[in-house]
Structure 1
Amino acid sequence: MTERLALLLWTNADNQFGNRVIKEEIKEALLKNDKPLAIAKIEEFLNKEKNTPLNIAITGETGAGKSTFINAFRGMDNRDEGAAPTGVTETTLENTPYPHPMYPNVTLWDLPGIGTTKFPADKYLELVGFEKFDFFIIISDTRFRENDVKLTQEIQKMKKRFYFVRSKIDNDVRAAERKKDFSKEKTLTKMRENCVQGLRGSGIQSPQVFLMSSFELHLYDFSQLYETLDRELPEHKRHALLRAMPNISLEIINKKKKAFKRRLYLLCAVSGGVAAVPLPGLSIVVDIALMVGAVTDYICGFGLDIKSLKRLSAISGVPYTDLLAVITSQLAAKKITRDLLLKVSAQLAVSAVFMVLEEVCRFIPIIGIPLSMGFSITTTYRLLNFILNQLAEDAQKVYEKALGLKASPQKLKK
């Protein structure tokens, strides 16, 4: 890596997150040799997009499967602590938030039913506080009814986005299988068309209907729902959604990997910028802190932390030890620490050598700092890129193991 590349990465980070944060707060802390403050400011800078709030409103009649959908989206079993309570006898009387267990900035809200005395249709959105929701998901386990249509009309007036989810599709498919001329594809097409035609007949233009089973998110239309949201949400909200998405397809795992890869370039920019500060030993301290945060983020995002793997085991019925058996990375299902990363780095001899060269070059007149920046960027990139590729491959293998699939011939993109 050359000084020009280091400065280019730094400039890109500048353009995306603002000169003031990077050049004033972070650099000032570094120049004062205030390591704790520097690390805290850098983490604040990198966590900016991680903390973007995403509020998803879930509404529908009692028994439609709202709670089960909320739990499935959050990667939770209905019996888990903190899960939304299920059962047809419960009626939501007020907005109930259910934060994602790994990404609390993403919250699914169980809303009260529309059309009651307390929540009349024409006042519903005002009473539930529509302005805080990014979009609405309207769930029904049969056909969409008059109250669903009234709610949609009110949402349209407020210029918010909404999506229809026809739930419990697995039950309908099993019932249809008893017919002699059963065709799964035709059955699903007919169900979707019936929902769309019913909504159009009620005055809803171009309704988007997604067929779904909360117990089998990898089947039916959950992936299509995600793709639609990914197209229609603002960019900063898309990232929050992607991070919280369960790994229900190879495509989603690939999207997460690409998002982490983009973030890796910003980490390299910060690494190069820190290396430019003429304080021996500071760059390695900060680089390790950055990498601990990044790798922890990879593990949580790919669902390879202990809690996520145990939840997946409970939901899929595949023993936890069997899921661990397909994982090759020594970082998965571990608490990421400085010592653990240094151990991995030592095993990658080239990265370890670059760390040493970075500090040695710092004492060379004139060209020393540019060389240190290049070695710092190279070390950060090589180590994190290696870890990212390995964890992404592990996420694919865990996904296939949980679903009882054969190893996919499709490779994750580098």
Structure 2
Amino acid sequence: MDYKELDYAFPVNQLQEMKMAFENGDFLQAAQNIKKSLVGLEHIPLNIAVTGESGSGKSTFINVIRGLGDEDEGSAKTGVVETTVVATRYSHPRLRNVIYWDLPGIGTAHFTPNEYLKLVKFDEFDFFFIIASHRFRDCHIQLAQAINSMGKKFYFVRSKIDADLNACRRLRKSSYNEDQILMEIRSNCIKGLHDGGIMCPRVFLLSCLELEKYDFYLMQKTLENELPSHKRHVFLLTLPNIYFQALESKRDVFRNQIWKHALASAAKALLPIPGLSVDNDIDLLVNTIGEYKEAFGLDQRSLNCLATTFDKDVHDLRSVIRSQLVLKEITYHEVVNFMHRRELTKAALMVTDYAAGAVPLVGSVAAGGVAFGTAYWLLYSLLKDIADDAKRVLSRALENTV
């Protein structure tokens, strides 16, 4: 490692945030304030409503976007007939504060959008997915207009695209062109919604059986751009690890939070607690590294799900993981051993020196400064290793897939 790498490890926005955190000139107070903000971030609620006609694939969409199969524990009930008669909540398996709501089907003879929104407690939701498996009809348009009039965002999802393509493949054997067919479906959806009075509708073409294809990434980027920053953070961390862009987005989210976790961990170095053999708050670091591992899908449950999704051997997927810490259970003992490595100590001193040049108070208290540098480089290097391992695992999962 050299100082050029530290220019990359410390983005300018991180250094600016650090300076703001130390405005009162107190290392310990800044660290404790940051620790409180990190705890608060874990409890930011995100409520996502999923609605549409019976049989449009609402429940399957909720399952796959949470990284679950239709038969997994905690999955939404699916079927060829309407299985949802009241709004049903489904928490993300890892971030319990992110909740997908499976709403009752629309399109019945007695459907009225305003009464429907009142019935499902409209105000609880941050935004709506309106799903159709064929064309969008008047009921979808009326619901979107009612949602818009109440100041909430909505997005149209045209589901079961794989079924449409398969049908066209059989019917257009000599002239089949997937890109052209997708363009036709998209244009038809947008025209129908526009003719119904929806200006500039956002329509995403998806297959819940092949979520890594078609418009899922476009949908993610749209929400990333339109959600408030605190909600965007938790949304990105819930994304299934089925395409490389999602892994990059998660890496960026975590990378921008490293200094906060390092500073919170370093606060322990300044507290008068006798008998400590390690300056940092190791439990906090263990939890943070465990969060990295799960978010990037390298825990056993996530690897099993990925293997099932792509019909691969889970042991084959695990075989490409290079980080020894990831392959083990992340415990207090394992993290302490990792921190005692000589190269980490050298890197920690360089980080402390570098950060102190931009935010002098980081280095003004020796114990706190070194503890900060140790935690920062530990998390930075492990995040890099975990993200790289996740890319290798996904590459292996995608081998020989069409």
- With the shorter chain as reference, the TM-score category is 0.7 to 0.9
Match of 1:290 in 2: 284
Match of 2:235 in 1: 241
Distance 1:65 1:354 in 2: 51
For residues 142 and 10 of structure 1, do their structure 2 counterparts lie closer, same or farther at Cα, with a shift above 3 Å needed? closer
For residues 246 and 226 of structure 1, do their structure 2 counterparts lie closer, same or farther at Cα, with a shift above 3 Å needed? same
> Aligned Cα RMSD in Å?
3.1
Match of 2:379 in 1: 384
Offset from partner CA, 1:219-271 (integer Å, 9 cap, x none): 10000000000011111110010010112222221111111111111122234
Distance 2:218 2:136 in 1: 20
How does 1:14-53 map onto structure 2 within 5 Å? Answer: 15=20, 44-53=36-45
For residues 196 and 276 of structure 1, do their structure 2 counterparts lie closer, same or farther at Cα, with a shift above 3 Å needed? same
Structure 2 counterpart of 1:66, from 58, 64, 88: 58
User: Is the 2:269–2:280 Cα contact (8 Å) retained in structure 1?
Assistant: no
Partner SS state of residue 365, structure 2: helix
Match of 1:349 in 2: 342
Q: TM-score, normalised by structure 2?
A: 0.85
How does 1:15-414 map onto structure 2 within 5 Å? Answer: 15=20, 44-116=36-108, 120-178=112-170, 179=172, 180-277=174-271, 279=273, 282=276, 284=278, 286-332=280-326, 334-346=328-340, 348-352=341-345, 370-404=365-399
Identity of aligned residues (%): 41
Distance 2:222 2:31 in 1: 38
For residues 165 and 374 of structure 1, do their structure 2 counterparts lie closer, same or farther at Cα, with a shift above 3 Å needed? same
For residues 278 and 141 of structure 1, do their structure 2 counterparts lie closer, same or farther at Cα, with a shift above 3 Å needed? same
Partner SS state of residue 58, structure 1: strand
- The farther-off stretch of 10-19 and 382-391 is 10-19
User: Is the 2:247–2:390 Cα contact (8 Å) retained in structure 1?
Assistant: yes
Distance 2:59 2:336 in 1: 43
- What is the deviation of 1:369? 6.8
Number of aligned residue pairs = 376
Structure 2 unmatched ranges of 5 or more? 4-9, 350-362
- The farther-off stretch of 153-162 and 313-322 is 313-322
Distance 1:18 1:126 in 2: 46
- What is the deviation of 1:273? 4.0
- What is the deviation of 1:399? 1.1
Distance 1:299 1:385 in 2: 13
Distance 1:264 1:43 in 2: 12
Partner SS state of residue 326, structure 1: coil
Distance 1:105 1:398 in 2: 27
For residues 158 and 333 of structure 1, do their structure 2 counterparts lie closer, same or farther at Cα, with a shift above 3 Å needed? farther
- What is the deviation of 1:169? 0.4
Structure 1 unmatched ranges of 5 or more? 28-40, 357-367, 407-414
Partner SS state of residue 331, structure 1: helix
- What is the deviation of 1:170? 0.7
Distance 1:293 1:44 in 2: 15
Partner SS state of residue 154, structure 2: strand
